[in-house]
């Protein structure tokens, strides 16, 4: 049986249908995702982060929302304090202002008038059962007026790459395991400098405030 052939999309010469490389012009015929494995991984990370952010954000359709009065009544923690709620032990370990995020190929800069606020955290599964990814803690940055800011997905991915974090994406967190994560928020530079800010940690349907500025 004759070998099935197709035309090379580059040079239009006849080649085997399952060829990975054109024998005439040398064109790489593999699909984009196979040829760009690093970018495929980055895009997959961003997509999964978007899915997790949507799950943690409830029904909010905006990048900023107002925190309700009940949330404001919760105990206020400081950076370095551990929040224990029976299922998790959560600690916001650092909050820093950055003019750039990431390193080398993954470096990001904020838009004009903005600055990056990087929030690092860790949390441990203190229960005796695995916790699904969509049930793990979420983190938002909140200003003094109660406006809640979503993280910048792209900058957060670059930050995670820079810090070499070990937070799992779409994986259960098993009992006794601690993971390290971080989020980046793009905030107006003057607004951040002049106001007070805190991180809103949501876990098991309850909110916790961690003052960062």
In order, the DSSP letters of 112-174 are TTEEEEEEEEEEEE-SSS-B-GGGS-EEEEEETT-EEE---HHHHHHHHHHHT----SS--B-
Q: What 8-state DSSP symbol labels residue 80?
A: T
CATH number for the domain whose boundaries are 35-211: 2.60.40.1240
Please name which of 110, 178, 138, 172 lies closest in space to residue 51, comparing C-alpha atoms: 138
Residues 6+ apart with CB under 8 A from 196: 143, 144, 211, 213
Q: Where are the domains of the chain?
A: 35-211
Distance CA 162, CA 168 (A): 16
pTM of the model: 0.67
| pLDDT tens for the chain, residues 1 to 213 | 455 888 887 788 888 877 778 888 877 676 655 555 555 566 666 666 666 655 554 444 444 444 444 444 558 999 999 999 999 999 999 999 999 998 777 788 999 999 999 999 999 999 999 999 889 999 999 999 999 999 998 899 889 888 888 877 778 999 999 999 999 999 999 999 998 999 999 999 999 999 999
């Amino acid at each position: 049986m004759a070998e099935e052939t197709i035309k090379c999309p580059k040079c239009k010469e006849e080649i085997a249908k399952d060829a990975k490389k054109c024998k005439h012009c040398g064109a790489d015929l593999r699909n984009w995702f196979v040829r760009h494995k690093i970018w495929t991984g980055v895009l997959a990370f961003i997509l999964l982060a978007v899915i997790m952010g949507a799950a943690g954000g409830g029904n909010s359709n905006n990048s900023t929302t107002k925190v309700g009065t009940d949330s404001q009544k919760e105990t206020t923690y400081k950076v370095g304090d551990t929040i224990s709620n029976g299922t998790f032990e959560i600690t916001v370990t650092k909050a820093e202002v950055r003019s750039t995020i990431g390193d080398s190929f993954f470096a990001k800069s904020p838009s004009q008038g903005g600055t990056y606020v990087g929030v690092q955290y860790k949390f441990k599964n203190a229960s005796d059962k695995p916790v699904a990814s969509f049930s793990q803690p979420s983190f938002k940055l909140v200003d003094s007026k109660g406006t809640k800011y979503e993280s910048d997905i792209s900058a957060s991915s670059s930050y995670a790459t820079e810090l070499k974090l070990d937070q799992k994406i779409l994986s259960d967190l098993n009992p006794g395991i601690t993971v390290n994560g971080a989020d980046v928020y793009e905030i107006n530079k003057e607004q951040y400098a002049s106001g007070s800010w805190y991180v809103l940690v949501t876990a098991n349907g309850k909110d916790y405030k961690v003052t960062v500025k």
